[in-house]
Amino acid sequence: MSKKSIYLIIGLIVTAIIGLIILQLRLIQTGLEVNKERYDRAIQGALKKVADEVEDNEEDEIRLTLNNGYAGGVPEGLYGEFLIGSPTTGLLGARTIRISPSSLRLRYQFASRNLEERIDRDAIHKQLQKELRNAGISDDLEYGIYDSRSQRFISRNGRQLSPLGSDTSRHEDLMHPDYVVSLFDEDANIPGQIRAYSPDKDSVVYSSLYGNFAVTLLFVLIILGCFVYTIYVILMQKKLSEMKTDFINNMTHEFKTPIATISLATDSIVSPRISGHPDKVQRFARIIKQENKRMNDQVEKVLQMAKLDKSKLNLNLTAVDLNDVVQSAVEYISLQVEPRGGTVNTRLDADPSVVEGDLTHLSSLVNNLLDNANKYSPEAPRIIVSTANVPRGVQVTVTDHGLGMTREARKNIFDRFYRVHTGDRHDVKGFGLGLSYVKTITDVHSGTIEVRSELGKGSSFIVTFPYRQPE
């Protein structure tokens, strides 16, 4: 898959996710508005029922007084018809009643009383609590009864206020309330109001959507997580595909060169000009043997990694002296370094230097590190190999003064088939399996490996093995 296709997929998925998030946020916002409207309607309705109850109680008191003889003996002809309506209901809520002059006088007397005399604070408080419960509202409501004539609050939350405590400056929160309901709104001049606001309104409204918001956030995070993981897998697969392609190309080159050399040497041996010279035949025979061994080593390396990949590695654990392993590996790599004018120095300070491990694999591990140091060094390699004791084990350090690595390269050098880019240098050969093998052998020996490198200044590979393998 090309980079253009990957970027297109990423762009489409990001656009879709952003669109879903915006759509979900709009749905949540709509839900908040609906909840606020429902909440306001419930509280306003509760206050209206309380105000109607207060008016009905006064109407009952007027009717009871009339029945007890206040308007007795009033002739029928003195009754008249009156249109009673409410500013809040208009003509649809108006009704025509027959009221006698005595009833009018009585109603006028009731309407002339102070608001405190016309209401029952305790009854209003209990009724309001009941209506709020019926509406499913359990939070506290701050409310006060405001006397429009004296322009002061006479009650707050069911408590009577003294003239000093009724000062409106003490009740600024109720001077601009969220909810207002008139008391005795059939009077010519409305005597009072119930003013209220809910300090917990926002928390109540939002709490009803916390569940939806949490679930939405969870699903968005799951989608984002899957998206990030999918992109990561795509990029890793693309990277792995590129490394495998490089591996095949490198393997073809590594095999093609010795095959060509063997073919040329074979043709030379069978040539009449060469076959009569035993020394030349021996020379070409050694070339054939050397190139054949080179091919065999490369095949063995690939087979080793395939075996490791299938988890068929069986360690032959014995007592291994890492100082001896390092010394043998240095003797071998010196044959390649010295012709290039380089040096390999050792600092074998570990004592004791014996660990429990597989001699063959530990030797191959050190050889791989030294071979890597030689390949990625300039014309005159300077390699230092040291051993030292650390808590519960022995540490082997291979340091070169070669090309070094970038931070990005250090993250990937242990990946199979990965090879560090060498810029304009094309003489660094390999399959990209050496360091992957080193990491695998280190892990199966319960060891650790650390890489320190700076571009242009060289690299250090620090491998630590425990004295004893865990049970």
CATH of the domain at 386: 3.30.565.10
Structure tokens belonging to residue 343: 């040096």
What pLDDT, on a 0 to 100 scale, did the predictor assign at position 66? 75
| Residue that terminates a domain, selected from 137, 168, 199 | 199
Sheet-wide strand order for 152-156: 159-160, 152-156, 142-147, 192-197, 179-183
Sign of the alpha-carbon torsion through 42, 45, 50, 53: negative
Q: Measured in whole angstroms, how far is the alpha carbon of residue 340 from the centre of its chain? A: 53
What pLDDT, on a 0 to 100 scale, did the predictor assign at position 301? 63
Same domain, 237 and 343: no
- SS3 state at 4: helix
Same domain, 143 and 233: no
Contacting residues for 301 by C-beta, under 8 A, at least 6 apart: 431, 433, 434, 437
What pLDDT, on a 0 to 100 scale, did the predictor assign at position 81? 46
Please indicate, yes or no, if residue 461 is contained in any of the structural domains. Answer: yes
Same domain, 130 and 14: yes
Please indicate, yes or no, if residue 434 is contained in any of the structural domains. Answer: yes
What pLDDT, on a 0 to 100 scale, did the predictor assign at position 323? 93
What pLDDT, on a 0 to 100 scale, did the predictor assign at position 72? 44
Cβ atoms of 189 and 147 within 8 Å: the answer is: no
Helix H segments across 403-453? 407-412, 434-444
How many Cα atoms within 13 Å fall on the side-chain side of residue 327? 9
Please indicate, yes or no, if residue 361 is contained in any of the structural domains. Answer: yes
How many Cα atoms within 13 Å fall on the side-chain side of residue 297? 14
Same domain, 355 and 411: yes
Same domain, 189 and 237: no
First to last CA, the chain: 46
Same domain, 267 and 185: no
Same domain, 241 and 179: no
Cβ atoms of 332 and 385 within 8 Å: the answer is: no
Same domain, 446 and 393: yes
Helix H segments across 93-147? 101-112, 115-118, 121-134
The identity of residue 389, as a single letter, is: N
Calpha distance 184→179 (Å, rounded): 17
Same domain, 222 and 88: no
What pLDDT, on a 0 to 100 scale, did the predictor assign at position 423? 47
Structure tokens belonging to residue 193: 């109001």
Calpha distance 101→72 (Å, rounded): 11
Calpha distance 144→197 (Å, rounded): 9
Calpha distance 174→19 (Å, rounded): 42
| Residue that terminates a domain, selected from 199, 230, 252 | 199
pTM metric for this prediction: 0.45
Cβ atoms of 456 and 439 within 8 Å: the answer is: no
Please indicate, yes or no, if residue 75 is contained in any of the structural domains. Answer: no
Calculate the alpha carbon distances from 162 to 154, 157, 296, 456 in Å: 7, 14, 106, 88
Contacting residues for 86 by C-beta, under 8 A, at least 6 apart: 93, 94, 185, 186
Please indicate, yes or no, if residue 280 is contained in any of the structural domains. Answer: yes
Please indicate, yes or no, if residue 74 is contained in any of the structural domains. Answer: no
Calpha distance 16→24 (Å, rounded): 12
Nearest C-alpha neighbor of 466 from the set 395, 362, 385, 388:
395
What pLDDT, on a 0 to 100 scale, did the predictor assign at position 88? 46
Calpha distance 322→394 (Å, rounded): 8
Eight-state DSSP code of residue 379: S
Please indicate, yes or no, if residue 120 is contained in any of the structural domains. Answer: yes
Nearest C-alpha neighbor of 362 from the set 394, 402, 407:
394
What number of residues does the chain have?
Answer: 471
> What long-range pairs does 231-236 form, CB within 8 A, spacing at least 24?
231/6, 231/10, 234/1, 234/6, 234/9, 235/6
Same domain, 98 and 177: yes
Same domain, 45 and 192: yes
Please indicate, yes or no, if residue 73 is contained in any of the structural domains. Answer: no
Same domain, 53 and 88: yes
Calpha distance 67→44 (Å, rounded): 34
Calpha distance 366→343 (Å, rounded): 17
- SS3 state at 470: coil
pLDDT tens, the chain, 471 aa long: 667 777 788 888 888 888 888 888 888 888 888 888 888 888 888 888 988 888 888 888 878 877 776 544 444 333 444 444 444 444 444 555 555 666 677 777 777 788 888 888 888 888 888 888 887 777 678 888 888 888 888 888 878 887 776 677 777 778 888 888 988 877 778 888 888 888 877 777 777 677 777 888 888 888 888 888 888 888 878 777 776 766 666 666 567 767 877 887 888 888 877 777 788 888 888 888 877 876 776 676 666 666 665 455 677 889 999 999 999 888 888 877 888 888 899 999 999 999 999 888 898 889 889 888 888 887 788 999 999 999 989 999 999 988 888 887 777 787 766 665 544 444 444 445 678 778 888 988 999 999 998 888 889 999 999 999 887
The domain of 20 spans 3-67+80-199
Calpha distance 404→456 (Å, rounded): 5
Cβ atoms < 10 Å from Cβ of 299: 13
| Residue that terminates a domain, selected from 157, 177, 199 | 199
Q: Measured in whole angstroms, how far is the alpha carbon of residue 233 from the centre of its chain? A: 18
259: domain CATH number is: 1.10.287.130
Calpha distance 343→213 (Å, rounded): 67
What pLDDT, on a 0 to 100 scale, did the predictor assign at position 327? 92
Tell me the angle at which helices 121-134 and 3-65 cross, rounded to the nearest 10 degrees: 140
Calpha distance 379→185 (Å, rounded): 104
Tell me the angle at which helices 434-444 and 359-375 cross, rounded to the nearest 10 degrees: 150
Say how many domains are in the chain.
3
Q: Is 441 exposed, middle or buried (0-12, 13-18, 19+ CB in 10 A)?
A: buried
